[in-house]
Amino acid sequence: MSWTPYESTQRSPARNLAWEDALLESRERGSSVFLVYRDDPCVVIGRNQNPWREALTGAGFPVFRRRSGGGTVYHDGGNLNWSFLVDRDAWVVDDALDFVGTALRRLGLEPVRDPRGALFVEGGKVCGTARRYFGPSVLIHGTLLVCSDLDALRAALAGIPSAGDRAVASVPSRVRNLAEVLPGLTVRDGRDALFAELAARYGACEPADPGRVLPVDAWADREREHGSWDWVFGSTMPFTVALGPTRAQGDGTLYLRVQGGRADRVQSCPDCASVADEKGAAAEDPSFGPLPEAWAGRPFDAALLGELRAWAAEATEAGIPRDAAVVPGTG
């Protein structure tokens, strides 16, 4: 098995994700690729996640959606990202964790493997993983918390509660930096340990910069996509958010259904949309009602949610579409 190592000199999350995509999709069977990179502060969600539930989207941290599964992660300069791109029948997640764990032991650490595909050191999660399959290839990648800003991490990974949501939810874990265990440890130390392990196992050479190897047309469209609203937010599966009790509904709660990342309609129960969709009868279902024109179709965000919650709190039966003024549970 031949290995080609890469190290990105860019801190752009969209570009690094695009390079990762391009390396995976151009990889030939029998060849193997190892990539490391760091990003400017951002939040990266999994392919099937809800960005509003996973991240505080208005906190100043840009949000990106990767193509692999798994949970949401916070990236910054103190977080080292690593990627293995190999034949899908050659490696599994445990192989990647064994590699990273052995590299950490070079530094004097004692990582413990978790059944969910993570590494823990002294009770704190330091490494998580995700996968993406493409033809005969698999991408197994993960993060390594070396000296990340954990206060920023906790602030960024705080979304809003949602309901009727079929998106994959992250599993919260207590995290810690490797530098808490080994004071003075740097990202460079972690990077060097990973490449030393690669050289010890496979005799790999010095890493190349993917920006100097990959043709621009192999990744430029993906870079634009990774930073686009349509991909990050518009591809989110439908979900609902509670707007709060309304006078028109007594003690009931009105819910907003968000479809394609945009305000779609109001309804009287969190899951009645999926039930009605399965019955093919949403248009006639009394649990649904249209949104006022001022809000219908607007991109969902915290500001819109605040406006709609204020509207719901002040609404009267005459002010809410008749079909929305129903008692929860009738849909």
pLDDT tens-digit readout, 25-34: 999 999 999 9
- Indicate whether this model's pTM tops 0.85: yes
Q: What are the tens digits of pLDDT across the range 144-190?
A: 999 999 999 998 888 887 766 778 888 778 999 999 999 999 999 99
Task: Give a yes or no: residue 330 inside a domain.
Answer: no
Q: Domain tally for the chain? A: 2
Question: For residue 51, how many C-alpha atoms fall within 13 Å in the half-sphere facing its CB?
Answer: 29
Q: Which of 180, 183, 178, 228 has its CA nearest to residue 63?
A: 228
Task: Give a yes or no: residue 305 inside a domain.
Answer: yes
Non-local (6+) Cβ contacts of 309 within 8 A are 243, 244
User: What is the band of 285 on the pLDDT scale with cuts at 50, 70, 90?
Assistant: very low
| Last residue within a domain, chosen from 232, 263, 294 | 232
Round to whole Å and give the CA distance between 224 and 240: 28
For residue 280, the enclosing domain spans: 239-324
206/123 same-domain check: yes
User: What is the band of 286 on the pLDDT scale with cuts at 50, 70, 90?
Assistant: very low
- Cα–Cα separations (whole angstroms), residue 248 to 265, 273, 302, 315, 326: 16, 20, 24, 7, 8
- Contact indicator for 31, 23 with CB cutoff of 8 Å: no
> Chain-wide mean pLDDT for the chain?
86
| Last residue within a domain, chosen from 186, 210, 232 | 232
184/317 same-domain check: no
**284 token code pair:** 């006639």
Round to whole Å and give the CA distance between 228 and 45: 14
User: What is the band of 57 on the pLDDT scale with cuts at 50, 70, 90?
Assistant: low
- Contact indicator for 139, 20 with CB cutoff of 8 Å: yes
Determine the residue type at 88.
R
205/79 same-domain check: yes
94/195 same-domain check: yes
55/198 same-domain check: yes
Task: Give a yes or no: residue 164 inside a domain.
Answer: yes
243/212 same-domain check: no
